[in-house]
């Protein structure tokens, strides 16, 4: 590759791999090594998968996860920061800016040379500064307002929106600077729904922490629960029952269907075409009711837990899901034809809110946002995880990068997910039956999990899981007593929110809801 050093080659030069980190290596480096990493990031196009602060027994450190997209190799680099400082990655990876601001707010880790040192999650309301640092300090609410970036010029005016929005949506603040109808700049301010999830999970038994992670972002509760469970299982080197692996994928695809139906309808609704929302919300409701009948919860919350899945799918579930996929396919196709044929609707979605390929690559954005702009990565394919390597599906990619492309990616993904659900239901391993006729749930007993934790002395694990929104990274360090020492879930929204600021530039203010909905980033998942 143009004489470039492969990822693992560089990581091995940077430092030794830490013990007990699975499945990818984590190399511990020093400041010189970290700077060498920055030099290399400036010359290659490895994706930054995440960057987060950590507090170990011997002090603060910062972790960065990287991927070489072509080979699919993933690796982590850690830098101990005894003085609470580390050189910023923001100059070579702009996606690092908000992650570094968050690490500063939570741990007091200062990114040297960061291009934007303003606080991000911390609005000065917590009564604490650096709540996850060794010794948090008390704080008082700020006296000065948050300094928004300046936009000055003839005829420019500002429109502040939020945090309380007009619809039933999550809170966040948008500061528009417009010239007449045209948006000259949008700046987001998030963090309003920061719940301190990383602090709450600390010291909790894994099952209790799983309940918190399941509520990181309600629409992707299954995907986040899978990512956390897999990170824990990697850390403790656990193999879960095969049936649980397949049931997880079934729930994940079912969740993707529910969300995509809702999103396609809502995007059309924001283009004043309410008909599509009325039709597609019925399909969404059918999916949710089936989930309730199969797993006892409409959103399938708390069904995926470390060690497996609980409860198993209801006995009538597989048939119900197969019947419903046939019905959904029958009802979805004519709606797609309507979307495709309505000139008045296309007039709003085509060439609106364009994000170019260069930008999605620089920010490492995944999901429909990335795939609509030519970045065809999908964690189910690369690095890939079970059972998807045994399933047939395609990852749709478009290059237009507009609202229309993001709708089409979702339409194609609905078709793929319907097929995946059918494949999974047909090929899933059957219910194991014990000699006494009792059917155990597809779940490792808690004793077994705790014994493994004790025997292995705990460990560190990471998982990459594809949610309906894109790739989730979850990293966890589990102690020998089976409690969570540190857990960092990185929602895909982190790398998509910044692109929304770019997408709306040059569009009219009235198209913002349309652009925003076509991204559908998570506020809660991002704010943590």
Partner 1 sequence: MFKHILRSLTGGPVTEPAPAPSPDGLAELAGQVDRAAKARLGRSLSIRAVDAGSCNGCELELHALNNPLYDLERFGLRFVASPRHADVLLVTGPVTKNMADALRRTWEATPEPKWVVACGACAIDGGVFAGSYACLGPVETVIPVDLRIPGCPPRPTELLAGLLALLERSARAA
Nearer to partner 1, 8 or 275 (CB): 275
Residue 160 sits in the site that holds partner 1 (CB under 8 A):
no
**Residue 77 token pair:** 């680099």
Instruction: Give the Cα separation of 28 and 492 in Å (integer).
Output: 25
Query: Of 30-38, 178-186, 190-198, 369-377, which segment contacts partner 1 by CB under 8 A?
Result: 190-198
Is the separation of the CB atoms in 62 and 34 below 8 Å? no
Give the strand pairing for 182-189 and 470-478: unpaired
Task: Please provide the DSSP assignment of 165-208 as one string.
Answer: -SSS----EEEEEEETTEEEEEEEE--TT---HHHHHTT-BHHH
Start-to-end Cα distance in the chain: 38
Residue 381 sits in the site that holds partner 1 (CB under 8 A):
no
Instruction: Indicate the Cα dihedral angle 496, 497, 502, 506, nearest 10°.
Output: 120
Provide the mask over 342-361, with x wherever binding to partner 1 is found by CB under 8 A and - wherever it is not: x-------------------
Report, in Å, the least distance between residue 446 CB and partner 1. 19
Nearer to partner 1, 238 or 294 (CB): 294
Report, in Å, the least distance between residue 436 CB and partner 1. 35
Residue 479 sits in the site that holds partner 1 (CB under 8 A):
no
Distance of CA 273 to the CA centre of its chain: 29
Q: Which is it for the CA torsion 364, 367, 372, 376, positive or negative?
A: positive
Is the separation of the CB atoms in 219 and 151 below 8 Å? no
Residue 380 sits in the site that holds partner 1 (CB under 8 A):
no
Nearer to partner 1, 33 or 262 (CB): 262
Nearer to partner 1, 54 or 73 (CB): 54
Query: Of 212-220, 319-327, 470-478, 500-508, which segment contacts partner 1 by CB under 8 A?
Result: 212-220
Strands (E), 405-482: 459-467, 470-478
Residue 285 sits in the site that holds partner 1 (CB under 8 A):
yes
Residue selected from 9, 42, 113, 127 as contacting partner 1 according to rule CB under 8 A: 127
Is the separation of the CB atoms in 249 and 261 below 8 Å? no
Q: Which residues, in sequence order, are bridge partners of residue 477?
A: 460, 486
Residue ranges in 239-268 that form contacts with partner 1 under rule CB under 8 A: 262
Residue ranges in 504-523 that form contacts with partner 1 under rule CB under 8 A: 522-523
How many binding residues for partner 1 (CB under 8 A)? 52
Query: Of 94-102, 148-156, 159-167, 241-249, which segment contacts partner 1 by CB under 8 A?
Result: 159-167
Instruction: Give the Cα separation of 180 and 185 in Å (integer).
Output: 12
Query: Of 13-21, 166-174, 355-363, 366-374, which segment contacts partner 1 by CB under 8 A?
Result: 166-174
**Residue 522 token pair:** 């998570």
Q: How many helices (H) and strands (E) does the chain have?
A: 17, 17
**What stretches of 86-134 show up as alpha helix (H) in DSSP?**
96-107
3-state secondary structure of 27: strand
Residue selected from 232, 299, 504, 515 as contacting partner 1 according to rule CB under 8 A: 299
Is the separation of the CB atoms in 48 and 64 below 8 Å? yes
Query: Of 16-24, 153-161, 213-221, 487-495, which segment contacts partner 1 by CB under 8 A?
Result: 213-221
Query: Of 25-33, 68-76, 128-136, 249-257, which segment contacts partner 1 by CB under 8 A?
Result: 128-136
Nearer to partner 1, 261 or 385 (CB): 261
Interface positions with partner 1 (CB under 8 A): 123, 125-128, 131, 136, 163-164, 166-171, 191-197, 199-200, 211-212, 215-219, 221, 262, 275, 278-279, 281-282, 284-285, 288, 292, 298-299, 301, 334, 338, 341-342, 522-524
């Amino acid at each position: 590759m143009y004489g470039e050093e492969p990822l693992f080659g560089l990581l091995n030069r940077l430092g030794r791999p830490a013990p007990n980190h699975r499945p990818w290596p984590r190399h511990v480096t020093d400041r010189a090594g970290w700077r060498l990493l920055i030099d290399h990031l400036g010359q290659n196009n490895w994706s930054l998968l995440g960057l987060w602060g950590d507090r170990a027994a011997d002090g603060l450190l910062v972790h960065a996860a990287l991927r070489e997209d072509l080979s699919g190799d993933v690796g982590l680099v850690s830098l101990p920061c005894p003085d609470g400082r580390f050189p910023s990655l923001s100059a070579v990876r702009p996606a690092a800016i908000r992650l570094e601001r968050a690490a500063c707010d939570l741990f007091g880790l200062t990114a040297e040379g960061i291009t934007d040192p303003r606080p991000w999650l911390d609005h000065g309301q917590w009564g604490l500064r650096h709540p996850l640092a060794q010794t948090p300090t008390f704080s008082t609410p700020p006296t000065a307002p948050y300094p928004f970036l300046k936009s000055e010029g003839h005829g420019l005016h500002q429109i502040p929106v939020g945090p309380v929005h007009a619809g039933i949506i999550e809170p966040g603040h948008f500061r528009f600077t417009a010239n007449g109808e045209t948006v000259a700049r949008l700046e987001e301010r998030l963090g309003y729904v920061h719940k301190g999830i990383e602090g709450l999970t600390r010291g909790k038994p894994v099952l209790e922490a799983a309940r918190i992670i399941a509520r990181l972002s309600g629409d992707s509760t299954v995907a986040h629960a899978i990512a956390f469970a897999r990170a824990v299982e990697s850390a403790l080197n656990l193999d879960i029952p095969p049936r649980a692996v397949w049931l997880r994928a079934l729930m994940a695809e079912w969740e993707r269907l529910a969300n995509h139906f809702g999103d396609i309808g809502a995007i059309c609704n924001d283009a004043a075409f309410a008909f599509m929302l009325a039709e597609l919300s019925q399909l969404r409701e059918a999916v949710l009711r089936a989930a309730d009948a199969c797993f006892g919860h409409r959103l399938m919350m708390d069904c995926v837990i470390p060690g497996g899945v609980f409860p198993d799918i209801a006995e009538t579930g597989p048939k119900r899901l197969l019947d419903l996929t046939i019905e959904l396919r029958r009802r979805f196709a004519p709606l797609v034809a309507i979307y495709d044929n309505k000139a008045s609707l296309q007039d709003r979605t085509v060439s609106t809110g364009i994000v170019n390929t260069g930008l999605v690559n620089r920010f490492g954005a995944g999901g429909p946002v990335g795939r609509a702009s030519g970045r065809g990565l999908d964690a189910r394919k690369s690095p890939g995880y079970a059972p998807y390597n045994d399933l047939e599906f395609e990852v749709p990619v478009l290059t237009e990068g507009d609202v229309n492309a993001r709708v089409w990616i979702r339409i194609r993904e609905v078709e793929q997910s319907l097929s995946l659900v059918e494949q999974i239901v047909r090929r899933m391993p059957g219910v194991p039956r014990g000699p006494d006729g009792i059917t155990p749930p597809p779940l490792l007993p808690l004793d077994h999990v705790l014994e493994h934790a004790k025997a292995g002395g705990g460990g560190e694990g990471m998982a990459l899981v594809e949610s309906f929104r894109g790739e989730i990274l979850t990293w966890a360090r589990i102690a020998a007593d089976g409690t969570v020492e540190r857990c960092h879930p990185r929602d895909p929204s982190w790398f998509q929110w910044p692109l929304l600021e770019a997408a709306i530039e040059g569009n009219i203010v009235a198209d913002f809801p349309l652009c925003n909905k076509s991204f559908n980033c998570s506020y809660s998942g991002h704010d943590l």
